[in-house]
């Protein structure tokens, strides 16, 4: 059975006025995910947003970890250039101990200017800083004193305690949305996270590139397929509730994040995107049966090792329906993957 992780919404639009409620909702979602068969629960971060996007993915993963017993917890993704790698290694080690080895570290190079501005980090350094974070985490999690010739920090004769619960530290996955990032994941990481917005043919091309890079580096490949999912009792229910997902995808399209493909070749502006267009070989959408059929197609073509689903966008659907969606996916889709 393909293991499935859940990617929660951690923003409180429009003005971040109910963050305590948001956190309560996320904790409840995590418990339901554990109850209905999800494998993991993962957090990302952004900074300085009006909707109070939660900026602390390791902390949030730890909070979920101590409230659950089985599911993995982790980041997907933490923005690696924004961290001092030694402090990050310490924080993750504590959570890995608290969860008895259930932590997964997934990182990305970041792209939003406000994220870099918050910490005075030059965005032109993001690749170098990210690669250094990966290198330092692995040294730090050896449990032995080490030094590192850092371009950005002073790291001399340091030892990270406590040791991680997992020998050698949690696995490190890297996101990659462009050829250079995909090659980086193959060269350095224990896994690659495919972006959630490209179509099936594009993700197939990216997956082939990643597996070739991993093979060239002598690393075992591990593909985490990430998808946006709109699930309901039937197709009409999904038509009625797709607004927030479409807002997100129109934003990505306007940002220039879509690769050219046959599905959207005639779309000239983001407001021309329809749910039907985006659903085809891109979203996982529809009734549980329809979602399962689509995922089987993705499995046949991509052969992923892990699936990450994002089912709630911009605080929608409301919590009761969000929990129903988790249960529907857990009971009627996951057992058949």
Tokens found for residue 233:
């009792």
Q: In the chain, what percentage of residues exceed pLDDT 90?
A: 96
Query: What structural domains does the chain harbor?
Result: 4-336 (3.20.20.30)
Evaluate if residue 256 carries a pLDDT over 90.
no
The pLDDT assigned to 257 comes to 87
Strands (E), the chain: 4-6, 40-43, 72-75, 78-79, 103-108, 146-148, 155-158, 172-175, 191-193, 223-231, 284-286, 306-310
User: DSSP code of 334?
Assistant: G
Tokens found for residue 178:
């462009």
The pLDDT assigned to 16 comes to 96
Total length of the chain: 337
Confidence band, pLDDT 50/70/90 cuts, at residue 130? very high
What's the pTM value of the predicted model, to 2 decimals? 0.96
Question: Widest CA span of the chain, in angstroms?
Answer: 61
- For 180, counting Cβ atoms within 10 Å of its Cβ (0-12 exposed, 13-18 middle, 19+ buried), the class is exposed
Tokens found for residue 328:
């529907």
Q: Residue 145 and residue 158: Cα distance in Å, rounded?
A: 5
Write 14-20 long-range contacts (CB < 8 A, 24+).
Answer: 14/50, 14/51, 15/50, 15/51, 15/52, 16/49, 16/50, 16/51, 16/52, 19/52, 19/54
Confidence band, pLDDT 50/70/90 cuts, at residue 260? confident
pLDDT digits (tens, 9 = 90+) for 57-112: 999 999 999 999 999 999 999 999 999 999 999 999 999 999 999 999 999 999 99
Evaluate if residue 255 carries a pLDDT over 90.
no
The pLDDT assigned to 57 comes to 98
Q: In the chain, what percentage of residues exceed pLDDT 70?
A: 100
């Amino acid at each position: 059975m393909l293991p499935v992780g859940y990617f929660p919404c951690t923003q409180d639009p429009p003005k971040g006025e109910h963050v305590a409620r948001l956190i309560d909702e996320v904790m409840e979602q995590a418990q339901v995910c554990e109850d209905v068969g999800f494998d993991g629960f993962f957090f990302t971060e952004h900074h300085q947003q009006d909707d109070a996007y939660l900026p602390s993915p390791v902390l949030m993963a730890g909070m979920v970890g101590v409230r659950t017993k089985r599911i993995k917890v982790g980041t997907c993704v933490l923005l690696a250039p924004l961290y001092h790698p030694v402090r990050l290694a310490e924080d993750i080690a504590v959570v890995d101990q608290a969860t008895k080895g259930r932590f997964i570290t997934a990182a990305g190079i970041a792209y939003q200017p406000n994220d870099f501005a918050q910490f005075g980090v030059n965005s032109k350094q993001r690749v170098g800083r990210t690669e250094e974070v990966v290198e330092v985490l692995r040294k730090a999690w050896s449990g032995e004193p080490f030094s590192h010739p850092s371009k950005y920090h002073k790291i001399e004769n340091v030892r990270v305690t406590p040791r991680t619960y997992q020998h050698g530290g949690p696995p490190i996955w890297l996101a990659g949305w462009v050829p250079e990032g995909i090659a980086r994941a193959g060269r350095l990481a224990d896994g690659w996270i495919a972006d959630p917005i490209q179509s099936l043919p594009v993700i197939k091309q990216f997956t082939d590139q990643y597996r070739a890079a991993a093979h060239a580096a002598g690393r075992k490949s591990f593909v985490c397929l990430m998808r946006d999912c709109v699930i309901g009792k039937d197709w009409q229910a999904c038509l009625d509730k797709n607004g927030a997902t479409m807002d997100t995808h129109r934003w990505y399209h306007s940002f220039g994040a879509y690769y050219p493909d046959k599905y959207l070749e005639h779309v000239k502006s983001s407001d021309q995107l329809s749910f039907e267009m985006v659903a085809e070989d891109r979203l996982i959408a529809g009734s549980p049966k329809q979602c399962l059929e689509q995922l089987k197609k993705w499995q046949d073509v991509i052969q992923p090792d892990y699936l990450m689903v994002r089912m709630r966008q911009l605080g929608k659907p409301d919590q009761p329906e969000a929990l129903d969606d988790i249960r529907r996916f857990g009971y009627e889709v996951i057992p058949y993957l």
